[in-house]
Structure 1
Amino acid sequence: MEHNKILIVDDDAKLRELLTRYLGQQGYVVDTLPDARELDRKLARNRPDLMVLDVMMPGDDGLAVVRRLRAQGETVPVIMLTARGEDVDRILGLEMGADDYLPKPFNPRELTARIQSVLRRHHATPALAARHESDEVIEFGEFQLNLGRRELLKNQQALSLTTAEFAVLTVLATHPRRPLTREQLMEMALGKGNGESLDRSIDVHISRLRKTLEGGDSPLRFIQTVWGYGYVFVPDGSERE
């Protein structure tokens, strides 16, 4: 049985030691870094299945790191640790491309649950993938969403999505023209109940998806807001009546 590899990037030595021991007991293979200086080399030599990244670090902070990685096309799932206790840090992390966040201090059990949730999405778990054939492709505009291969193509060129963005887009695209509330998207795409995360986190994932799908001068709007309710996916991108 192959064990998932987790990379912890945090300048708190005691926390790194605690998480290494605890996650190791849960069956994960854990590696750590005190800051981001050696991160690129680590990703190239021994790429993890998931990275836990602290926001507040010496040198490049976690927000700058995840923004740079996503700009480079790096898709490794990222859970950000935020210490300030302010929603703005969590939202910024999601806007930069993080898949989830966890405020400090936290119980290691909670981190383990978040890791399991993100990895399930990343590996196409039954919650989303079992309902679809392995070769099912949803086409809209210039895009092809391949559910089995978990990739989004534009004119046959692969686009970079986080695990959360792919999950949200999959739920929307498999329910075309059906308005979905934020709570439904939270549960169906991210496996979270209404009290587990901010409604705003769904808005951030939608915003990033729109930039990917509707950039430039295109008049098409595939993900449309249903005011006072949520969002709806319109395959032809036309305005809803």
Structure 2
Amino acid sequence: MTASATPEVRPSLLVVDDDSRVRTVVCWQLEADGYSVHEAADGNAAWQCLEERRFDLVVLDLSLPGLSGLDLLRRLRDCGDRTPVVVLSGRSGEGDRIVGLDLGADDYLVKPFSPGELAARVRSVLRRSSGSPVAAPSAATEPGSNLHIDPWTREVALDGSPVPLTAREFDLLAFLAAHPRRVFTRAQLLEQVWSSSKRWQSEATVTEHVHRLRHKLGSRHLVTVRGVGYRLEP
């Protein structure tokens, strides 16, 4: 008698949007891609789902009745939950993107979007959050540096104090740390860290993340090479 194969565990996603049409399309696309997908129509229902079970990723609309998407994201990060979050929003302003990213979103997609683009973003975020470390351990620190990056635990410390980073912020910092003092253009960083090209994402995303890292680490380590790109000074 042949032993039964171990069933494959599919990544579990939570889709939060008050527009039933958007939820239907998004859930259909993600289920077709092989994910186990759950739905919530508002922030309070989403929070209850997150309290009851663990998800591998949350697709979160910002404009929700009751508990807003930003408030839900803030509550999630305040309690130490690092579940990856892809934010959906009808607001295209840079300020809204920065607020979402500062609160700990791992990616930001403006409506209207194609289901295929969202699926690509989800794959990219899941790959980064569950894959192997971006940087080699030997590249994480240098003697005398006040910046310590541990690619195995994904922890960062500055002058001995922990620095909380989102998954994307850590990936960007770890990649630059793996190539100290080497200059990368925004297009190169988009390709290497986001596993993306201009077709999927704007180079402004890189600029926003560098700005956020500088806010948390100071300007000493992340250096802008005018007209070219960025490098890390350990």
TM-score norm. by structure 1 comes to 0.81
Q: Provide the residue aligned with 2:208 in structure 1.
A: 204
Counterpart pick for 1:21 among 25, 28, 45: 28
In the TM superposition, residue 187 of structure 1 has moved relative to its aligned partner by: 1.2
**SS of structure 2 residue aligned to 1:57:** coil
Q: Map 1:38-117 onto structure 2 (within 5 A).
A: 38-117=45-124
Once the two structures are overlaid, the 10-residue window that deviates more, 107-116 or 13-22, is 13-22
Q: Deviations over 1:130-172 (max 9, x none)?
A: x73xx55622544432223333245777543222111100111
Q: For the structure 1 residues 87 and 212, does the alpha-carbon distance in structure 2 shift closer, same or farther, using more than 3 Å as the test?
A: closer
Q: Do the aligned partners of 2:225 and 2:231 also contact (CA within 8 Å) in 1?
A: yes
Q: Provide the residue aligned with 2:19 in structure 1.
A: 12
How many residues are paired up? 225
Q: Provide the residue aligned with 1:230 in structure 2.
A: 229
Q: Do the aligned partners of 1:36 and 1:60 also contact (CA within 8 Å) in 2?
A: yes
Q: Provide the residue aligned with 2:3 in structure 1.
A: none
**SS of structure 2 residue aligned to 1:139:** coil
Once the two structures are overlaid, the 10-residue window that deviates more, 83-92 or 44-53, is 83-92
Q: Deviations over 1:202-231 (max 9, x none)?
A: 1221122223323xxxxx711122222222
Q: Provide the residue aligned with 2:42 in structure 1.
A: 35
Q: Which runs of 5+ in 1 are unaligned?
A: 215-219, 236-241
Q: Map 1:151-230 onto structure 2 (within 5 A).
A: 151-153=155-157, 159-214=163-218, 221-230=220-229
- 2:140 aligned with 1:138, yes or no? yes
The sequence identity of aligned pairs, in percent, is 38
Q: Provide the residue aligned with 1:239 in structure 2.
A: none
* Residue identity matched to 2:229: G
Q: Do the aligned partners of 1:73 and 1:160 also contact (CA within 8 Å) in 2?
A: no
Q: Do the aligned partners of 1:137 and 1:147 also contact (CA within 8 Å) in 2?
A: no
